[in-house]
């Protein structure tokens, strides 16, 4: 990343105000990273942008993506990957000339592709957050091209740290990260539902079963992160000799649970890399 000097971040702009952008906006305002009045918004649906602006106490709604780039220190492109190609080209020169930075949260679009679309020596940060940003519990990864300064990198870390955990990661590992952190919430939701449905089959009400399964997953993740213990070691602690847990684990293995998880991750990685070549 670059070593140049830029004006300290005072404004953050968002192109797109969907669920992810809304979560980030609410997070950075709540954490005091940026004042509401210094958050700039634009969306094809002006009503959506206005609603978000009002919900955080007075963000500014602008008329175009170019206007965002002309005023923001950090411009977050929060649109679908297929829309980025129509948005980014008009922003690259503006950002490069101002010494500001662009942040992309689009899956599959590499720094090389984003820089190509920008058409200028613009500072570009690539971030992969996940849906849990909506409850302040995202797991995000961040990397940047050679034009990103230390100040811009730090600002991006602050922004995404407001909605969960964030790490810096070599871009060559982004496809794997997308699978195990970006897509895995969907896998986890399905796993929780499978647990609950199995309990329903045993006579438990669905709402009770879903709450119990979700809390068990939440607590297990918390224990793993806070204890620093290897996952299999924790599994062994729960598994008494000849008991119920080990019987269930062995049946999961017999039914291909572990192989299915690995195959799902690989399929996600493969698709992410295909998107990067599109």
Task: Tell me the CATH number at 259.
Answer: 1.10.3730.10
**Residue 185 lies in domain:** 176-277
pLDDT for res 278: 65
Q: Is 231 annotated as a binding residue?
A: no
Q: Is 110 annotated as a binding residue?
A: no
* Rounded to 5°, angle at Cα 33 from 103 and 22: 55
Per-residue exposure over 211-235, b if at least 16 CB sit within 10 Å of its own CB, e if not: eebbeeeeeeeeeeeeeeeeeeeee
Q: Is 20 annotated as a binding residue?
A: yes
3-class secondary structure, 74: strand
CATH at 37: 3.40.50.720
Quick check: is 2 in a domain?
no
pLDDT for res 202: 98
Q: Is 24 annotated as a binding residue?
A: no
Residues 117 and 211 in one domain: no
Q: Is 105 annotated as a binding residue?
A: no
Which residue ranges in the chain fall short of pLDDT 50?
3-8
Quick check: is 72 in a domain?
yes
Q: Is 15 annotated as a binding residue?
A: yes
pLDDT for res 213: 98
3-class secondary structure, 140: strand
Q: How many domains does the chain have?
A: 2
pLDDT for res 108: 84
Residues 194 and 95 in one domain: no
Of 113, 145, 169, the one marking the end of a domain is 169
Q: Is 4 annotated as a binding residue?
A: no
Rg over alpha carbons for the chain, rounded to the nearest Å, is 21
Q: Is 178 annotated as a binding residue?
A: no
**What is the bridge-based pairing of β-strands 39-42 and 12-15?**
parallel
pLDDT tens-digit map of 249-275: 999 999 999 999 999 999 999 998 887
pLDDT for res 9: 58
Residues 186 and 213 in one domain: yes
Q: Is 80 annotated as a binding residue?
A: yes
Q: Is 17 annotated as a binding residue?
A: yes
Residues 187 and 165 in one domain: no
Q: Which two tokens stand for residue 259?
A: 């192989």
Residues 60 and 118 in one domain: yes
Residues 114 and 187 in one domain: no
pLDDT for res 77: 96
Task: Classify residue 50 by burial, with Cβ atoms within 10 Å: 0-12, 13-18, 19+.
Answer: middle
pLDDT for res 3: 46
């Amino acid at each position: 990343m670059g070593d140049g000097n830029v004006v300290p971040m005072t404004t953050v702009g968002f192109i797109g105000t969907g669920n992810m952008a809304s979560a980030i906006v609410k997070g950075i305002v709540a954490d005091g990273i940026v004042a509401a009045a210094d958050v700039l918004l634009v969306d094809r649906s002006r009503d959506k942008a206005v609603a978000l602006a009002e919900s955080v106490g007075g963000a500014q709604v602008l008329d175009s993506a170019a206007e965002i780039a002309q005023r923001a220190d950090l411009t977050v492109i929060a649109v679908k990957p297929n829309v980025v190609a129509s948005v980014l080209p008009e922003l690259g020169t503006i950002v490069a000339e101002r010494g500001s930075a662009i942040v992309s949260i689009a899956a599959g679009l590499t720094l090389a592709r984003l820089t190509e679309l920008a058409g200028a020596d613009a500072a570009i940060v690539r971030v992969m957050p996940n849906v849990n940003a909506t409850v302040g519990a995202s797991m995000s990864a961040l990397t940047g091209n050679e034009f990103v300064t230390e100040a811009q990198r730090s600002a991006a870390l602050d922004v995404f740290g407001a909605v969960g955990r964030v790490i810096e990661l070599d871009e060559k590992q982004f496809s794997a990260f997308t699978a195990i952190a970006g897509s895995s919430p969907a896998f986890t939701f399905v796993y929780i539902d499978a647990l609950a449905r199995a309990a329903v089959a045993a006579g438990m009400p669905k709402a009770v079963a879903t709450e119990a399964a979700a809390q068990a997953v939440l607590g297990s993740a918390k224990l793993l992160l806070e204890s620093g213990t290897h996952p299999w070691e924790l599994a062994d602690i729960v598994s008494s000799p000849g008991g119920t847990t080990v019987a269930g684990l062995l049946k999961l293995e017999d039914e291909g649970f572990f192989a299915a998880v690995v195959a799902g991750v690989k399929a996600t990685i493969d698709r992410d890399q295909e998107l990067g070549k599109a």
